[in-house]
């Protein structure tokens, strides 16, 4: 996600200091401009869940394509798929006898806040109360952190924290739920605007697989 913070980006180690001193509004505006220009994004991801006495670590690859298309290929520790073509979302574990389906606009899933990465909406419209998350330790000294609350998931999510590195890339997304649990995504090997076929975001249940329609298609624990 190159040039994500165009209004405040300076070379080298001065990036984080200048971003923290500068006003928030130009920073948000620069994020919006960058993502509105994005067509596709590919990266590796890690996902860590902590809550209710459970610790879970997963990893795989993520594909995003405007408008509103996502494909999460979970590879470790268990292969599974979460995919949306912008209209319909699916969750499927190979070998299972069921596939879960939901209209994308009704999707009730913690991966949903990532839709703004496609430039679908303005960041300030998607996340209310945006501010610098100066109380959260960064993964690297020069990273900048932002905090906001997803308006569409206010009943589930307390806040979302974005970590942005000096290259202007979002390298972490932490979602703090109202039940006290945390789901944290880490992103690496980010590539922007590489060609992605529409077929990557389509899914047809294998023969004999029952389709279950539900708003909540979050991966099982």
Structural domain count of the chain: 1
- Model confidence over 143-174: pLDDT tens digits? 888 999 887 777 888 999 988 777 667 789 99
Q: Give the domain extent around 112.
A: 14-213
Through-space distance between the first and last CA atoms of the chain, rounded to whole angstroms = 31
CA atoms 21, 26, 30, 32: torsion sign = positive
Q: Per the structure block, which two tokens stand in for 21? A: 């001193």
CA-CA distance, 69 to 79, in Å (whole number)? 20
Q: Per the structure block, which two tokens stand in for 215? A: 């708003």
pTM to 2 decimals? 0.79
**What 3-state class would DSSP assign to 99?**
strand
CATH of the domain at 129: 2.50.20.10
How many CB atoms are closer than 10 A to CB 46?
15
- Under a CB-based contact definition with an 8 Å cutoff, are residues 80 and 71 in contact? no
pLDDT value, residue 144: 81
Residue 78 sits at φ, ψ, to 5 deg, of -135, 135
pLDDT value, residue 117: 60
Q: Is residue 89 domain-resident?
A: yes
How many residues are recorded in the chain? 221
Q: Is residue 9 domain-resident?
A: no
pLDDT value, residue 19: 44
Q: Per the structure block, which two tokens stand in for 49? A: 């869940």
Q: Is residue 8 domain-resident?
A: no
Q: Is residue 1 domain-resident?
A: no
pLDDT-flagged residues of the chain (< 70):
1-23, 26-27, 30-31, 108-121, 167-168, 215-221
């Amino acid at each position: 996600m190159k040039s994500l913070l165009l209004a405040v980006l300076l070379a080298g180690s001065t990036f984080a200091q200048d971003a923290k001193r500068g006003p928030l509004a130009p920073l948000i505006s620069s994020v919006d401009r960058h993502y509105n220009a994005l067509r596709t994004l590919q990266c590796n991801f890690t996902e860590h869940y902590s809550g209710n006495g459970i610790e879970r670590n997963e990893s795989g690859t993520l594909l995003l394509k405007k408008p509103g298309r996502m494909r999460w290929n979970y590879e470790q520790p268990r292969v599974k798929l979460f995919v949306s073509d912008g209209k319909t979302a699916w969750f499927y574990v190979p070998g299972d006898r069921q596939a879960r389906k939901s209209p994308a606009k009704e999707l009730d899933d913690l991966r949903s806040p990532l839709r703004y990465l496609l430039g679908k909406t303005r960041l300030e419209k998607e996340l209310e109360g945006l501010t610098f998350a100066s109380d959260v330790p960064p993964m690297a000294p020069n990273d900048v952190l932002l905090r906001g609350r997803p308006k569409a998931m206010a009943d589930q999510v307390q806040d979302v924290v974005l970590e942005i590195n000096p290259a202007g890339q979002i390298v972490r997304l932490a979602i703090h739920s109202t039940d006290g649990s945390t789901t944290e995504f880490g992103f690496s090997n980010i590539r922007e605007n590489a060609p992605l076929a529409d077929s990557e975001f389509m899914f047809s249940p294998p023969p004999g697989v029952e389709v279950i329609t539900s708003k909540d298609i979050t991966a099982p624990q």
